[in-house]
Structures are given as structure tokens and as C-alpha cells.
Structure 1
Amino acid sequence: MKALIKKTSVLLLTGVLALGAMGCANVNAQNDEFKIGDKFTKMGDKAYVVDYKLEDVTGDNIKDNVILVGTKTVSDIFCDTLTVVVQDGKTKEYSKATYKDFGGYQDEEMLFIGDFTGDKVKDVMVSASTGGSGGIVDHMIATFKDNKPSVIFTDKENAGIDINGKYIDGYKAEIEFKDLNKKVLLDVSASKDMYIEQGIYDKEGKLLQKVEPWIYPFSQLEPIDYNGDGTFELRGYQRIVGTSNADTISHVESILKFENDKWNTKEAQYSTYLVK
């Protein structure tokens, strides 16, 4: 089952976006220049503006055009490729950031602008639903300080906390949070009638079949200034499932902070069902 939700490897794609025949001097960096739903022809005939913000993300105190561009057909709401394009408010030059296979469904609020690195320059966060019963939402965070784009949150971080585990006697699951070097026991007896019917446990709680729970990637990530210092952390939500996608046995909530050029888990908590 883990193989079904494994993401592809990361390839960062950042750089300067050529303006083509129009040239810098003819582009007016105003709000009405980039309307959601309009074509963004600088990236091809199938590129559209799917979200837009006017914020300073380069650090020069001049607001920039922050454009989320998606590659799709005009009537579709799923974007095969999502790319953040920034037009510098002063120079009118363009830069862009994405990672390989980053796509999802167009929604009303996909962009969030805030400082995640602590350098007092706002960064760009994108959230995109991938659809399906797993409720997985992919995310990207990119920095554009001094017009040097860099992706600091990719599909590697989207995977969330890594776990493995197994069901054991007594209607319990032994779970190892590998990233945190922690092991816990989950009480799964809230589903014991279903497990007995499926032949996974007998009525005395003896395990009859091998079951290995797995954890889904983040279904949700919320920017949160956890300690009130002006720098945003991330609050993430994941599900641990047992015998099938419909068999949720725990929810995991974590707080992530960007420190020393990587994301560190500062807090993590899990739940156990009493009744289901």
C-alpha cells in the first residue's frame, strides 16, 4: 500500500523567465495585468493565471506581482504543472520556482505570503489538492529574496512524518515514528468487531493476519506564527490507516519550523479512537 502513495523524486526548477518579444519595458506590473483565469502566454498556450498576490517577496520594500501559473486546458480545473512566477516591482524582470510534477486542482485561495525563514523577507507558499479519497494536498514554499528563487518545501517534505508499524495481539498496533525515534502503542479495539468479521483477530484478541499500518502524506498544512515572533511555522495533519484507506486508526498533528536550512519537527501528537 505504501507504494501507491509514494511520490516521485524532486527536481527543483528555478530561474529567470524570458519575456519574449514583448520586452520588459512594455509590461505594466499592475493588479489588473494578471487576472485569475487569463492566459499567461509567456509560459505557453496552455498556461493560465490560477491565483495572484501583490506583495514584496524580493526584500526591496517594493511590492511585486506574485503569479501562480498552471498548465491546463481552458475548461479544466486540474493543473498539470503549477509554477510561481514573480515579476519584480522595480525592475519588471521575471523569475520562477516549482518542482517536478507539482500540480493540483485550482481553488480560490492557493497562495499564502509570509516569512518562513526568519530573514524578514516574505516567502511564497502554494497549496494544491490532488483529489482522490486520501485527501492529499501538495505544497510548495519558495523564497525570492534578491530575485534568487529557491524552493525550500518540496514533495520530500510533503511526505510528512515517516512511520512503520504492525498489529499485535490485544487489538493493538505498534507504531514507530522513524523520524522522531519514538515507538507507541495504539489501541485499535474500537474496530474489533470489524476485525473479527474480517478474520484479522479472533474474539480473544489474538492476531490472525499480518497487518502493517501506514501513514498518509500531509492532508493539510497551516501557516501559523506559533511563538509570535513574526516568522511562520507549519501545522501539519496526517492520517494513520490500518487495513484499508477507510480504516483510520489515528490522526497525527505536527509543528514544523525552518531552521538551519531544513524543516524540523518541533512538536508531534497522535490520537487513539475510543469508539468508532
Structure 2
Amino acid sequence: MNLHIPKQLARSQPAGWSLIFIGTLLLTWFTAQSAHAQSYRAAAGLAEYAAADAASLVTLQTNREDITGDGVPDTIRIVGRPSETNRGSYNKLSLEIQDGGERKQTCFYIGSGYAPLLRLVDWNGDQVKDLYLTVFDPFDRHLPVYSIYTRTDADGGGSRLTQLPLPQPLSVSGRLKDNYKVQVRLRNTNQTFLLDRRERSAAYEQAGYYQNGRLIRPKLLETAAEYNELLPADIDKDGISELRGLQRISGIGTDDVIAYAASVWKWRYGQWTLMRTELLSQEQL
């Protein structure tokens, strides 16, 4: 350690002042060295934590497919860390794409959930596979969460992966009517259906909604605000996938399933277009 004290300053001051000055310099130097050491240890600790965190990730699925359109297969992986509290669930789920041509990596953070599954499909007919990801909610393993990623042109040339929106669920309404009938309306297409629920008459009477077939307690139907299922399917067999959605419609309780509102969506002109709707019973699924 070298501390430089001007000779003129040292001679012009009392000896006691010089000792104080030197002590102050020493304290400042040691404080700086200690702070530097602490910063180094903190950085090393963060690096060690990041390495340990990365090591705890496991690969859940790997696919090799050209998803950028350059003719070179890319590597797509789903990685995550097994949850310590929810068995079968994963935290820090991510979708990692290694570009086989440009050798660059893209990562989409997913979050947490159960049973992540990646499907490779073509939405727009460009002969390049798009990504369709399903993960079940970490708090409700029966509630699926969907994500769609497709290739788009990047600024300055080349391509990039972009997340597409999902089609909005159908707007469905319905109510109980006399003689154990149920009226269901699909507002998107203005379709109305009248269903006979006579096989449930005993349960409806016991619950206090009917008396000898006459409705004495009005009841609106409950419709799932989200899709119970939304999966790719090539409905018209043209090699381009559509999305087929199902929404459960319930009567006097969640276990009283009236029907499912089914919808078919096709990606056209940068948006999802509703192609078809229908009402299906559980037996028709």
C-alpha cells in the first residue's frame, strides 16, 4: 500500500494533525477494499445461484423442426423445474428455440403448471410449422392454458416468432323453461336451441325448480367463461389446422351438464374467423 502525502503539507501541520490525516486515509482505503470484496462475493454468489438454478431445470419435451422457414431444422424445447410443493407441477416453465440456421436462441417464459405439451401445426398454409402449447393451471389441473406462436417477418429482414391471440370464447346464454325444457342461445351466430331435459325431471323437482313440469323458480344457465378445450384439428382436411373449441353449459349445478357449445376457428387475414358452431351432448364429444 502506498499513500502519498505532500511534504509541504506534512511540514506545515502539527504532528497530531498528521496522524489524524494518515488515519483518515487508512480508514478510507480499508473501507473501499472491504466494499470491493463484498461486491465480488455478492457477484460470485449470484453467479453460483444462477448456475444452480439452471442445473435444477429439466427438459420436458424436445422437437426438431424447421419453424423459421429457412429449410434448416430448429430445436424446440420445453424446460421447467419440478415443484417442491405441488407434485407433478413445474415452475419456471419456458419454451426455448434454438435457430438451426442463424444459431440464435429465443426464449418464451410460460410460468408454472402441469403437463406442458407442445404441438407443431400449420395455421396459415405457408408450409412452416407453428407452435401450439398447452399447460394446465398450477392451481387447477383441469383448467388448460393455451399459447400460439408463429413465424412473422422481422424488421430489417429475416423472421421472428410472434405470439398469436386466441379466439374469444362464444357468447352463450340460456334458461330453464316449462316442461323441463332448456333454451340455449349462441349469440355469435344467433342460433337458438330448445333441449328436452325430462330425464332430469326428478332432480329438478327435488331442487325446487319445477312442480309437476311447471317452472316455479327461474334459472339462468351457467356457461364456462373460458374454453374447456381448445385444440388444433384439420377439420376440412386441407393440410391447414383449425382450432376447435368446447365450452361447457351447466343447468342447476356444475354437475348438471346440459351440453357443450362447439366452435371451429380458422386463421384468416391476421385474425381468427368463426367457421362453424354447434351444440353437442356429452355423448357426441
Q: Same fold (TM over 0.5)?
A: yes
**Cα RMSD (Å):** 3.1
Code of the aligned partner of 2:260: H
Aligned position for 1:61: 71
Match of 2:209 among 192, 200, 203: 200
Matches for 1:69-88 after TM superposition, within 5 Å: 69-70=79-80, 72-73=82-83, 76-80=87-91, 82-88=93-99
Shift in Å, 1:215? 3.0
Shift in Å, 1:226? 2.3
Aligned position for 2:145: 138
SS of equivalent to 2:203: helix
- Percent of residue pairs identical: 23
Match of 1:240 among 249, 252, 263: 249
Q: TM-score, normalised by structure 1?
A: 0.70
Cα distance in 2 between the residues matched to 1:71 and 1:42: 11
Q: Does 1:93 align with 2:104?
A: yes
Q: How many residues align?
A: 228
Answer yes or no: is the 8 Å Cα contact 1:125–1:140 preserved in 2: yes
Shift in Å, 1:206? 2.0
Answer yes or no: is the 8 Å Cα contact 1:168–1:174 preserved in 2: yes
Shift in Å, 1:195? 0.7
Aligned position for 1:148: 160
SS of equivalent to 1:236: strand
Cα distance in 2 between the residues matched to 1:42 and 1:149: 29
Cα distance in 2 between the residues matched to 1:220 and 1:165: 20
Q: Does 1:118 align with 2:125?
A: yes
Cα distance in 2 between the residues matched to 1:225 and 1:138: 21
SS of equivalent to 1:106: strand
Cα distance in 1 between the residues matched to 2:248 and 2:201: 19
Answer yes or no: is the 8 Å Cα contact 2:221–2:250 preserved in 1: no
Cα separation, partners in 2 of 1:126 and 1:252, compared to 1, 3 Å: same
Shift in Å, 1:60? 0.4
Cα separation, partners in 2 of 1:189 and 1:207, compared to 1, 3 Å: farther
Answer yes or no: is the 8 Å Cα contact 2:130–2:151 preserved in 1: yes
Q: Does 1:223 align with 2:205?
A: no
Shift in Å, 1:249? 0.6
Code of the aligned partner of 1:215: A
What are the Cα deviations for residues 107-155 of structure 1, in whole angstroms up to 9, with x where unaligned? Answer: 5xx111121122222100112233788943222111134441211144x
Answer yes or no: is the 8 Å Cα contact 1:167–1:213 preserved in 2: no
Cα distance in 2 between the residues matched to 1:111 and 1:121: 15
Matches for 1:20-31 after TM superposition, within 5 Å: none
Shift in Å, 1:164? 2.1
Code of the aligned partner of 2:224: I
Cα distance in 2 between the residues matched to 1:229 and 1:272: 27
Code of the aligned partner of 2:78: L
Cα distance in 2 between the residues matched to 1:50 and 1:197: 49
Q: Which moved more, 1:255-264 or 1:77-86?
A: 77-86
Aligned position for 2:46: none
What are the Cα deviations for residues 34-64 of structure 1, in whole angstroms up to 9, with x where unaligned? Answer: xxxxxx9799566442222111101101000
Cα separation, partners in 2 of 1:56 and 1:41, compared to 1, 3 Å: farther
Hey, which of these two has a bigger chunk of helix by percent? 2
Cα distance in 2 between the residues matched to 1:180 and 1:120: 31
| Structure with larger Rg | 2
Gaps of 5+ in 1: 1-39
What are the Cα deviations for residues 175-197 of structure 1, in whole angstroms up to 9, with x where unaligned? Answer: 22122233322322221110100
Q: Does 1:187 align with 2:196?
A: yes
Shift in Å, 1:98? 5.5
Code of the aligned partner of 1:140: S
What are the Cα deviations for residues 159-211 of structure 1, in whole angstroms up to 9, with x where unaligned? Answer: 63221222222222222212223332232222111010010111133232433
Tell me which of the two structures has the higher relative contact order, counting C-alpha pairs closer than 8 angstroms and 6 or more residues apart: 1
Cα separation, partners in 2 of 1:133 and 1:211, compared to 1, 3 Å: farther
Cα distance in 1 between the residues matched to 2:143 and 2:273: 21
Cα distance in 2 between the residues matched to 1:60 and 1:131: 36
